Structure 1
Amino acid sequence: MLRRGPVGGRRGPGLIGAAARTAVVAGTATAVSGNVQRRQAARAQEAAPEPVAPAAPAPAPAAPAGDDSLDRLERLAALHNSGVLTDEEFAQEKRKILGG
């Protein structure tokens, strides 16, 4: 005896048929998308001007040694005041900066 589905005796494509149709649609969409991306990349390369190497920036003038030491001491004091450095660590690093 034949089984009949809902109204009119027609059944849908079933699970495997739906999965196969979905795979075909997805594969076609992927292929088309890939072709579009390749074409767009090729057009972008054709339209892009030759890259020009930027000129190297001029080196900054050397700061006097005193300014560097002062900056380092200020940063060290800020670390000490915020509690990151102990009194002993602060004194030790301060001696290194001052050369003593």
Structure 2
Amino acid sequence: MPIRRVGRPGLIGLAARTAVVAGTANAVGRGMNNRADRRAQDQYEQQQYAAAQQQAQMQAAAQQAVAQQQAAQQQAAQQAQPAIAAEPAGGGVDLVAELQKLASLQQAGVLSDAEFAAAKAKLLG
């Protein structure tokens, strides 16, 4: 009849218990690391999404500003053209003053080179 020990476990029992504890600790540690990695990845994706949204808003605002600027330039050009066309090309007009007006409109970007040349020819012709 074998003698049975009572009390502390033997060497094999101690090794088995240590293996179970180490395996459990290892599994818990991996689970925590995986969870932390998922959280970091989710946070990174949220930051990238927010940055993309901000970039899209900035591009839309820039496009809107360009459109407003172009509309203002077109409106200024339309207002300047009737004023030039309505003036009579005749003897009572101060040619120097009119040419200076046209030159200032061209420098301001309201008149293109072709429009300036046509208006100048109309005044002088």
TM-score category of the 2 structures, normalised to the smaller one: 0.3 to 0.5
Q: TM-score, normalised by structure 1?
A: 0.37
Larger radius of gyration between Structure 1 and Structure 2? 2
The structure whose RCO (Cα within 8 Å, separation 6+) is larger is: 2
Q: TM-score, normalised by structure 2?
A: 0.31
Quick check: which one's helix share is greater? Answer: 2
